[in-house]
Amino acid sequence: MSPCPVITLSDISTEKYEALIAAAQAQGLALAGKSGNASHRGMEFTWNYDSDAQVLTIQCIDKPMLIPCAMIEAQLRGLVG
């Protein structure tokens, strides 16, 4: 399965990033630090947070065939709200 496009989220302050990490952990995603890889419910993600630029990039690099990339992106963007 080919990876989804990279999602770039701007204006992510350190406080907002920490809140996003806490929300992800509450959902069972083992995220920690400013970059890395994590697996959750058959999906694998990679992310990088640049605190100086306040930019978070996330990419779903593997997922079940029946889950569209657009749905993953919508849910991620919904978390940032």
| CATH number of the domain bearing residue 44 | 3.30.310
Q: Distances from the Cα of 29 to the Cαs of 19, 37, 40, 62, 73, in angstroms?
A: 13, 10, 6, 15, 16
pTM here is 0.87
Calpha distance 62→1 (Å, rounded) = 6
Q: Would residue 1 count as lying in a domain? A: no
pLDDT, tens digit, 9 for 90 and up, residues 25-46? 888 777 889 999 998 888 999 9
Tell me if 37 is assigned to some domain: yes
**Which residues, other chains included, contact 22 with Cβ-Cβ below 8 Å and sequence gap of 6+?**
none
Residue for token pair 């419910």: 41
Q: What is the pLDDT along the chain (81 residues), one digit of tens a residue?
A: 679 999 999 999 999 999 988 888 888 777 889 999 998 888 999 999 999 999 999 999 999 999 999 999 998 888 877
Tell me which residue range forms the domain holding 42.
7-80
